Amino acid sequence: MARKILFCLSLILAVLLAAPWAAMAANERKPVRIQGTKSMYLRVVARPFAKIYKEPKEGSEVVDANVRTFQPFYVYTQPKQAQSVTQTKEEGWYEVGPNDRGQVNGWMKAGDVMLWKHAMCLLYTSPKGRKPVLMFSDIKSLQEMVKKPQEQRLSEAGGFYKAIAEAGNKELPKDFPVVAMEPKRWVDPRTQFYLMPVLEAVNLEVDSFYATLVKMAAATAAGRGSSNMRTNVEARKQALVSAETGDAVQKIKEQKIDVVYVMDMTKSMGPFIEDTLKTILDTSAALSQKMAGGQDLGSNLHFGLWGYRDSETIQGIEFNTRNFTPELQGVESFAKTLSTVREARVGSEGFEEDMFGGVDQAILNTKWTGDALRFIVLIGDAPSHPLGHKWNSSKKDGKLLRELANGKKVYLFAMHIQYPDARLRSYHEAGEVQFSALAVNPGTDSPAFFKIKGDDRQDFTRVSKLVAESMVAALQKGRQGVVMSGGAPAAGAAPTSGAPAAGAAPAASSPASQAAQIAEVIRAAQVQWLGKATGAQAPKDITAFAMDRDLENPAIPSMDVCVLLNKRQLDSLVKTLQTIIEAGRRGQKSGQGFFKALKEVAVVSGADPDKILNAKKYGESGLVPEFLAGLPYKSKVMALSGETWASWNSMEQDEFMNELDGKIQAYQDIHEQADQWVQLNKGDDKDQYVYPVKLSLMP
């Protein structure tokens, strides 16, 4: 009885204490909502050395004299004149707070913050093969230039690059339209984080390619101090430093290389496993000769091996994927490991294997050397089970795996063995598409794809040795302070005039072309690696306009548009796509329309059933997270209508759902990659860390 009385008293006391807080909560202020949304609040991000004032006026008491760079704030009052796509100078004051629960810190000058509506930002692509991004002071100058005929645009852009390069210690003219330039060295956002939020965007077409002109801000953790190259001579000089000069000469001497073989180990691959062993033994001998000459290159070259077969439900197949090197090995130890590897004793069911599963595991679960260049050499004679197949353990396709490899800074060579058998033609064609998609490395002109004659083992041995010799050559040149020459043949190869032209397929019969292509991939990896090793910095404290494609060759993207998502938002994307897939499967079985099936699936989540049934497209169903609904980009999922779904046959519906399932798997992989998440502010909890998800990975 005493316990019951004590419990009742405690409950009454809790209610009495909670009542004032409930009243305060009901009256608490809410941040400014983004126009057209119900729960998305307007945010700004602090520039370096920003201050918070007690009142919105000069001379007011300073509440915080040095706000952390990149610290996001919710906006409770915004200037009367909102920032627009034609403005670069921000004026007025923002009343800001750290959360959306009514806590207000004070006022910040508009010039001390970056308005950030959709958490969209830009990341530079690989600098190899394109010109640096130019940032203009006003949108009119940029628009006028990109709308000109190709020849005039190329001439004008070339003039800007030339003027920047030749300015020396002089200031550029005050009316020079370019205020900043991307550094020639690649900037690693993981180690030298830079924030380039997309403030506004305008779409247009340039030379038949869709492009976007963006109003962007640029800030780095390095501090305040404008990179305006009209007046900041030092910023201009730093932007012009190439990957092969200065401190990069010393850094390249320290490079390490990881080479991981991903091999088909089914019954037909025995001879090629043997030939790979011979290649490694020859590489070991070559390294021993270098060591005898005073060059200890072997300590900087490590190897790994993943094998893949097929579903373990096949009797006697032994494994689906297997890591033979939990720790990467030196060349001699690796040769011993390879000598123990055998092909499967039994055949698979059908010709396809789980190649995607093997590549997926190698990218994600190899114990890569922390500061090494990362390469995968894929060797197989069969295509993978496609996206959606029950024996595709990765649940991904080549495109998704390529995105995953890019995120992990992995470069891939693909050796596809093809036999002269007309019955296998369709399989070879499918395999060629898959292997090529995986071999589209950033900063290169064409896929590092090599078609190998299955009835000519010498053809395989030659290409395999070219890859291994090129790695040794890269280390040897590196010791001399030299970056690999893109387009130059590797050691022992015949001379060539250059790398294959853009879009050209590698010539299987030309050792020179193949060697040049291998060198091009290694160089692209080195350029990216050197940017990280030298600590290259992005422009800072700039608000400007730029195009997301190369000004001289719009076929090449110069910047990737990304959305910074935290783990909760990523999880909500997974739930959204799972709901669509479940509704699609239910509709297929019952014959119901898509939105009727969607209502039955989503009703347990408390969604409005009438809104779902009356929706003309999925984006109007009320089931979409508002951060996704508010993004200004075209989305296949958001535009999905009942009529579109009904117009697809079952195969097309399955293809759509398999694509969504692949993205779910990609989101789950991202979720688990602890080293890939960015902490915007010191003291942030891990669930507040963000990941830049490319628009190509968004649903």
What distances in angstroms separate CA 432 from CA 30, 385, 463, 602, one per listed residue? 55, 13, 17, 41
Measured from the Cβ of residue 400, the count of other Cβ atoms closer than 10 Å reads: 23
CATH number for region 28-116: 2.30.30.40
373-380 and 120-124: which strand pairing? unpaired
Distance CA 253, CA 320 (A): 39
Give the domain ranges of the chain. Answer: 28-116, 120-247+536-564, 250-481, 568-697
Who's near 369: CB < 8 A, 6+ residues apart?
256, 258, 302, 328
Distance CA 64, CA 106 (A): 9
| Cα-to-chain-centroid distance, residue 454 | 35
Helix, strand, or coil (residue 120): strand
Distance CA 487, CA 499 (A): 4
Structure tokens at 415: 């050796």
Q: pLDDT value at position 87?
A: 46
* Residues 666/538, Cβ–Cβ less than 8 Å: no
113-116 and 194-195: which strand pairing? unpaired
Identify residue 184 by its one-letter amino acid code. K
Helix, strand, or coil (residue 437): helix
Structure tokens at 324: 């033979």
Structure tokens at 430: 């499918």
Find the length of the chain. Answer: 699
Q: pLDDT value at position 24?
A: 40
Q: pLDDT value at position 5?
A: 44
Distance CA 58, CA 36 (A): 33
Q: pLDDT value at position 90?
A: 65
Q: What are phi and psi of 380, to 5 degrees?
A: -165, 165
Establish how many alpha carbons lie within 13 A of residue 652's alpha carbon, considering only the half-sphere containing its beta carbon. Answer: 6
Q: pLDDT value at position 404?
A: 93
Q: Angle CA(254)–CA(126)–CA(568) in degrees, nearest 5?
A: 100
CATH level 2 (architecture), domain 250-481:
3-Layer(aba) Sandwich (3.40)
Structure tokens at 51: 């201050």
Identify residue 672 by its one-letter amino acid code. E
The stretches in the chain having pLDDT less than 50 are 1-26, 83-88, 488-508
* Residues 123/692, Cβ–Cβ less than 8 Å: yes
* Residues 657/671, Cβ–Cβ less than 8 Å: no
3-state DSSP of 581-612: HHHHHHHHHHCCCHHHHHHHHHHHHCCCHHHH
Distance CA 642, CA 640 (A): 7
